[in-house]
Amino acid sequence: MAGRSELILASASPRRLALLNQIGIEPDHLVPAHVDETPERGELPRKLAQRLADLKAETAQRKAQQAGYGREALVLGADTVVAVGRRILPKTETMQEASECLALLSGRAHRVFTGITLLSPSGQKRQRLVETRVRFKRLGPKEIEAYLASAEWRGKAGGYAIQGLASAFVVKLVGSYSSVVGLPLNETAALLVGEGYPLHFAWLNQSTNASV
């Protein structure tokens, strides 16, 4: 699309890339932003999600510019936080962490917060925070054991991937499914269109190509 701003995705997450592709967006650059995700003392889950989205976008923008590109690019950052009440669950890296998360989520509701940040070439920052409520069925020991064996939990906020095997655990979801996967598509599209990104032009091109 000639004349549009480039788009940098501040992530190496295949889930976020696949979600963007789902609405016809192919980022020009993927710039992983490895940041310290440790919550600050007393930090609430929703504040953490937005702060980390900001930090990831700013880090990716700085890395791209230091590498000699991206000065005229839009930069999109996102972060997802799973919480039970005020308790922030980790992005699980060990089986013990994942087991503790699943035991805590079993038979109860929790909240998933995804913050998104879009930085424009002019220096403007656009933000959205999306909250989704999810309820799990009561999980038996064999179900938890089987899920742990799948290793699908590794690196996932709250120790599960809703787009995978853990979809069988979900009794109810109120809010944005794509946000729980990692990127709320409605809000992301709105931010991009608000900055002049020609999202719907890409859809028209796809429609034209499909009819040929």
CA–CA separation, 96 and 41 (whole Å): 24
CA–CA separation, 115 and 77 (whole Å): 8
The secondary element (H helix, E strand) that includes residue 22 is helix 14-22
Q: Catalytic residues, which ones? A: 79
CB 5 within 8 A of CB 74: yes
pLDDT of 79 higher than 60? yes
* CATH number of 130's domain: 3.90.950.10
**Is residue 196 in a domain?**
yes
For residue 190, the enclosing domain spans 7-211
**Is residue 101 in a domain?**
yes
pLDDT of 202 higher than 70? no
Average pLDDT over residues 121-127: 93
**What confidence category does residue 1 fall into, taking pLDDT thresholds of 50, 70 and 90?**
very low
Give Cα separations from 27 to 42, 146, 171, 172, 202 (angstroms): 35, 36, 34, 32, 13
**What confidence category does residue 210 fall into, taking pLDDT thresholds of 50, 70 and 90?**
low
Give Cα separations from 41 to 47, 71, 111 (angstroms): 12, 34, 20
pLDDT of residue 212: 47
pLDDT of 61 higher than 90? yes
CB 10 within 8 A of CB 57: yes
**Is residue 2 in a domain?**
no
For the chain, what is the domain count? 1
Angle (CA) 86 146 16, round 5°: 55
87-110 pLDDT, tens digit each: 999 999 999 999 999 999 999 999
pLDDT of residue 136: 98
pLDDT of residue 140: 96
Which pTM value belongs to this model? Answer: 0.92
**What confidence category does residue 207 fall into, taking pLDDT thresholds of 50, 70 and 90?**
low
**Is residue 1 in a domain?**
no
SS3 at position 102: helix
**Is residue 184 in a domain?**
yes
**Is residue 127 in a domain?**
yes
Task: Count CB neighbours of 43 within 10 A.
Answer: 14
**Is residue 203 in a domain?**
yes
> Average pLDDT, whole number, for the chain?
93
**Is residue 30 in a domain?**
yes
CA–CA separation, 11 and 134 (whole Å): 25
